[in-house]
Amino acid sequence: MAGKLYGLVLAGGLSSRIGQNKARLSWHGQPLYRHMISLLTQADIDHILPSDSGFINELNGLAVTCLDDVFPDRDPLGRIHAAVKHLNDSDFFWPSQWICH
């Protein structure tokens, strides 16, 4: 049985160097996390996992599943860990920070 391909949007974090939430910075007229979700959707990735549940109210109408960290404040490794815990053995995910556009 073939697994599913998930796109992981590594959103959130402490933003200690930039002083504000990086995922909410504007990129091409929309918040960066929405831009990354859009790129994953354009790549026909049907299963998108934003790694910060703080966006849940802003994602109405989108087919996404927000994840909470299993071990808080360990990003980005903690967010990748949460994604891996969410998947089945045959599933695969692609962290969206690695998508260039």
DSSP state of 82: H
Give me the CATH number covering residue 58: 3.90.550.10
Tell me the pLDDT tens digit for each residue of 54-84: 777 777 777 777 777 777 776 677 778 888 8
pTM of the model: 0.72
**In the predicted model, what is the mean pLDDT of residues 23-44?**
86
The set of residues, in sequence order, having a beta carbon less than 8 Å from that of 12 and lying 6+ positions away, is 21, 23, 51, 52, 54, 75, 79
- Counting the structural domains of the chain, the total is 1
Q: Report the pLDDT value the prediction gives residue 39, as an integer from 0 to 100.
A: 86
What residues does 26 pair with on adjacent strands? Answer: 31
Residue 31 has pLDDT above 70, yes or no: yes
The percentage of residues in the chain with a pLDDT greater than 90, rounded to a whole number, is 0
Mean pLDDT of the chain: 75
Phi, psi of 35 (to 5 degrees): -60, -45
pLDDT of 29 > 80? The answer is yes
Domain that holds residue 54: 5-98
E strand or H helix at 47: strand 47-50
